[in-house]
Amino acid sequence: MIFPNLWIHTPLRGVLTICHQLTKTEIPDLAKCSVLMKERSKVEETIHGMQRAGAGSLHVISDFDMTLTRFAHNGKRVPTTHNILDNRLLINEDCTKKMRELLNTYYPIEIDAGRTVEEKLPLMVEWWTKVHELLIQQRIRRDMLAQAVKESSAMLREGHKVFFDCLAAHQVPLLIFSAGVGDVLEEVIQQNHVFHPNVHIISNYMDFDHTGALRAFKGQLIHTFNKRDGALSQAAHLTELQGRPNVLLLGDSLGDLTMADGVSEPENILTIGFLNDQVEERKESYVNSFDIVLVKDETMDVPNGILRYIISSRDNK
């Protein structure tokens, strides 16, 4: 969705000062002050189980916007894949205005800790459907997408190259499950030179007519809170994931926790949640839901540290 450029800082009220001291030295990144864990022993047990099984039993499932990409940089919001389309090469000023009005209406609902997922579901469908209808009306040109990405301030998180390259080098599948725009997402990864053969993407893809103009969106609509449906219907068909019962799951929304629901006979699932915004309001629900919560952490340090431990320890045996 389209977000305003200015980033309004949310006081942490001491969250970052609560440093968890990890007595073990294998993954020092878990001692960062941005790391919160409700059950440290469970996390360590899960990681050790993944390490014993090795890279051949692992795959990674990740959200994209605000998970693999930064939430903010130098005090300003980093654009999502929908944001990147807010470019005069692609859409006009009236479309931008209408999409921002939709954002102001629906985004507070998406992150409202006081509403249930069931309450949010139909409203998220409304939001995504209205945005996609606006984009279709603009008849966006396929041949302009690369230039729009190039002109944007899209940024993957610090340490992203280590993350993507490590997974590719050890042939660990990376399934990116995004409610954003798949065509834009692919272009972002391509321009960062990390679109390796092990990367698979499930997202909202554009359907262009014979002239290269957007005429529809393909397949089932994917939004923040229906990823479970996509996981069950699409991820199960990826043969690359078969025989890999261990999952490292990355997301920035509670809805992302369902992305591993399509995994057949899972053994170890470790969930990492990026808590980017409204920390005080959402901290409790995130800590109760994700195994590891990263508070306003714009890096891939923790996922990279866990991957290094799982892979290098196995290789050294």
The tens digit of pLDDT for each residue in 167-177 reads 999 999 999 99
pLDDT tier at 11, thresholds 50, 70, 90: very low
Instruction: Report the pLDDT value the prediction gives residue 5, as an integer from 0 to 100.
Output: 44
Instruction: Report the pLDDT value the prediction gives residue 49, as an integer from 0 to 100.
Output: 95
Catalytic residue among 29, 63, 277, 297: 63
**Residue 237 pLDDT > 70:** no
Rounded to an integer, the average pLDDT of 180-184 is 97
| Dihedral angle sign, alpha carbons of residues 42, 45, 50, 51 | positive
Instruction: Report the pLDDT value the prediction gives residue 230, as an integer from 0 to 100.
Output: 66
Name which of 309, 222, 306 is nearest 259 in CA terms: 222
- Beta partners for residue 69, in sequence order: 156
63 is catalytic: yes
- C-alpha–C-alpha distance, residues 289 and 280, integer Å: 15
110-164: per-residue pLDDT in tens?
988 889 989 999 999 999 999 999 999 999 999 999 999 999 999 999 999 999 9
Q: Is residue 123 left, alpha or beta, with left meaning phi > 0 and alpha meaning psi from -120 to 50?
A: alpha
**Residue 276 pLDDT > 90:** yes
What is the pLDDT of the chain when averaged over all its residues? 89
Where is pLDDT greater, at 83 or 5? 83
pLDDT tier at 1, thresholds 50, 70, 90: low
Instruction: Report the pLDDT value the prediction gives residue 26, as an integer from 0 to 100.
Output: 84
**Residue 14 pLDDT > 70:** no
Residue whose entry in the numeric block shows the structure tokens 């073990």: 24
Name which of 213, 211, 83 is nearest 138 in CA terms: 213
pLDDT tier at 16, thresholds 50, 70, 90: very low
- C-alpha–C-alpha distance, residues 305 and 191, integer Å: 25
Catalytic residue among 65, 183, 256, 297: 65
Rounded to an integer, the average pLDDT of 105-114 is 90
Where is pLDDT greater, at 265 or 207? 207
| Degrees to nearest 5, angle at CA 31 with 29 and 33 | 105
Q: Three-state secondary structure along 242-287?
A: CCCCEEEEEECCHHHHHHHCCCCCCCEEEEEEEECCCHHHHHHHHH
Instruction: Report the pLDDT value the prediction gives residue 111, as an integer from 0 to 100.
Output: 87
- CB crowding 204-233: b at 16 or more within 10 Å, else e: bbbebeeeeebeebeeebbbbbbbeebbee
Which of 87-96, 194-203, 305-314 is predicted with the least confidence, judged by mean pLDDT?
A: 305-314
Q: How far is CA 300 from CA 68, 128, 290, in A?
A: 8, 28, 16
**Residue 67 pLDDT > 80:** yes
Rounded to an integer, the average pLDDT of 189-209 is 97
Return the percentage of the chain with pLDDT > 90, whole number. Answer: 78
Rounded to an integer, the average pLDDT of 295-299 is 97
Instruction: Report the pLDDT value the prediction gives residue 265, as an integer from 0 to 100.
Output: 87
Instruction: Report the pLDDT value the prediction gives residue 263, as an integer from 0 to 100.
Output: 84
Which of 41-55, 178-192, 230-244, 251-265 is predicted with the least confidence, judged by mean pLDDT?
A: 230-244
112 is catalytic: no
CB atoms within 10 A of CB 41: 8
Return the percentage of the chain with pLDDT > 70, whole number. Answer: 88
Q: Which helix (H) or strand (E) holds 124?
A: helix 117-137
Give the distance between the most distant pair of CA atoms in the chain.
61
Rounded to an integer, the average pLDDT of 262-282 is 93
- Beta partners for residue 165, in sequence order: none
**Which pTM value belongs to this model?**
0.89
**Residue 314 pLDDT > 70:** no
